[in-house]
Copies of this chain bind each other. A is one copy, B any other.
Amino acid sequence: MHRAGYLESPTFAYETWGELNEARDNAVLIFTGLSPSAHASSCAVDPTPGWWEEMIGSQLPIDTDRYFVICVNSLGSCFGTTGPASVNPETGKRYRLSFPILTLEDVSDSTHYVVQQLGVEVLHTVVGCSMGGMSGLAFCLRHPEAVRNFVSISSGTRAMPFSIAVRSLQREMIRSDPKWKKGNYDVGDPPITGQRLARKLGMITYRSAEEWAQRFGRERSTTHSRIEDQFVPEFSVESYLENHGRKFTGAFDPNCYLYLSHASDLFDLAEYGGSLAAGFKRLDLERALVIGVRTDILFPPEQQRELAEGIASVCTDTQLAELDCIRGHDSFLVDMDAFRPVIWDFLA
């Protein structure tokens, strides 16, 4: 691992769509955000819609008629790839907090290994969303010979203190739940209270105040008059958060969440040579596209411009697309009409 330690025989879950061509030069690799699995789009084996169903497919921006598309579940996650919730083959027990400190360098390097196993030496394009944008940047820095083009979506060169503060607090919410038990939680009784709180804070930072003002205003889902009801959700925005909080808690392992969240804080392009400028110099790209959203508070527009200008200093053919979406950081998942044309143009 990048910091210290090793993993014995890790497993990787991945999905692919389309066909690798004879020249082996049509592969597109997608790095995910913190929580998605490798199931970015439906396929014959798993026809359920993927998390980026409207982006990947025949005649869609990441066109599976032309490209061989790969998505790998990140190292440290819990959807088939080895992570803190996996059994350590050396002990026969779950890793939990004995899992080594995870970095996005580990995510990048392990994904590079998977891609090579698939017979791909050089990727046509690496696409990374949110945390995946930093994993993708790590990939481009550490394996410059293995990638020609890079698309960063709602990401940046590194986490800034507002985002670090938010993620640190999310982790503390989970760690503060007595059921977490320093990572040794009972699998049948996980720290869902802490996870629900963390997810709600996530949603507050993934969307935008502007969207919610339009969407919810001060609409009530119910009105309380009894004292004993006063802290039950009353405003529609509270019910919305409650629904999102509940959905997530069953779906993600709390320890995996802690590791991936922490890895997001640790990544810093400036560690490559001592400054951002030095880091950018290590890139060797033909073309790049940086997409950001005006209302994103986790990776705000200034960070999009910083990333685009930095890549442009070493790669002339770099575009910055600042989208006027109101749904904040999550726009790349929910405002497809805004994102599709930009990615379509880049890959066309």
Residues of A within 8 A of B (CB): 3-5, 97-101, 158-162, 164-166, 168-169, 171-173, 175-178, 193-194, 197, 200-201, 203-204, 208-209, 212-213, 215-218, 224-225, 227-228, 230-231, 233, 235-238, 241, 258, 262, 265, 268, 270, 297, 300
A225 to B218, alpha carbons, bound, how many Å?
47
5 shortest interchain CB distances as A-B pairs? A162-B209, A161-B237, A161-B212, A161-B216, A168-B238
Give the contacting residue for A200; candidates B98, B99, B172; CB below 8 A.
B172
Q: Is the interface of A mostly helix, strand, loop or mixed?
A: helix
Establish whether residues B162 and A268, one from each chain, have CB atoms under 8 Å apart when the complex forms. no
Q: Is the CB of B5 within 8 A of A227?
A: yes
Q: Chain B residues with Cβ under 8 A from A160's Cβ?
A: 209, 212-213, 217-218
Nearest Cβ in chain B — how far from A215, in angstroms? Answer: 8
Partner among B212, B227, B238, B300 whose Cβ is within 8 Å of the Cβ of A97: B227
Determine if A212 and B265 form an interchain contact, defined as CB atoms under 8 angstroms apart.
no
A204 and B171 form a contact (CB under 8 A): no
| A341 vs B315: C-alpha distance when bound (angstroms) | 49
- With A101-B230, A176-B193, A230-B101 already in contact, the answer to whether A235 and B168 are too (CB < 8 A) is yes
Q: Measured between C-beta atoms, what is the minimum distance from A337 to chain B in Å?
A: 24
Q: Are B217's CB and A161's CB within 8 A?
A: yes
Q: Is the CB–CB distance between B165 and A237 below 8 Å?
A: yes
Copies in the complex: 2
Structural contact, B100 and A161, CB atoms closer than 8 A: no
Shortest distance from the beta carbon of A260 to any chain B beta carbon, whole Å = 12
In the bound complex, do residue B3 and residue A165 qualify as a contact, i.e. CB atoms below 8 Å apart? no
- How far does the Cβ of A249 sit from chain B's closest Cβ, in whole Å? 13
Known contacts A162-B212, A166-B204, then 17 further A-B pairs from the complex at CB < 8 Å, ordered by chain A residue: A97-B228, A100-B227, A101-B227, A101-B230, A160-B217, A160-B218, A161-B209, A161-B212, A161-B213, A161-B235, A164-B237, A165-B200, A169-B200, A169-B204, A173-B173, A173-B197, A218-B270
Report if A258-B231 is in contact (Cβ < 8 Å); known contacts: A162-B204, A204-B166, A212-B160.
yes
Cα(A65)–Cα(B231), bound, Å = 45
Report whether B98 and A227 are in contact in the complex, using a CB–CB cutoff of 8 Å: yes
For the complex, give the distance between the alpha carbons of A101 and B98 in Å.
48
A268-B204 CB under 8 A given contacts A175-B231, A209-B161: no
19 pairs from A and B in contact (CB 8 Å cutoff)? A100-B227, A101-B224, A101-B225, A161-B216, A161-B218, A162-B212, A165-B203, A165-B241, A166-B204, A168-B233, A168-B237, A171-B231, A172-B197, A176-B197, A178-B178, A197-B197, A201-B201, A218-B270, A231-B258
For A237, what are the chain B residues with a Cβ–Cβ distance below 8 Å? 161, 164-165, 168
The reply to whether B225 and A3 contact each other, CB–CB distance below 8 Å, is: yes
Q: How many Å lie between the Cα of A235 and that of B169 in the bound state?
A: 12
Contact between A158 and B218, CB atoms less than 8 A apart = yes
CB neighbours (8 Å) of A227 from chain B are 5, 97-101
Q: Tell me the minimal C-beta distance from A144 to chain B in angstroms.
A: 24
From A263, which residue of chain B is reached at the shortest CB distance?
B230
Residues on B with C-beta less than 8 A from A230 are 101, 262
Contact B238 A165 (CB under 8 A): yes
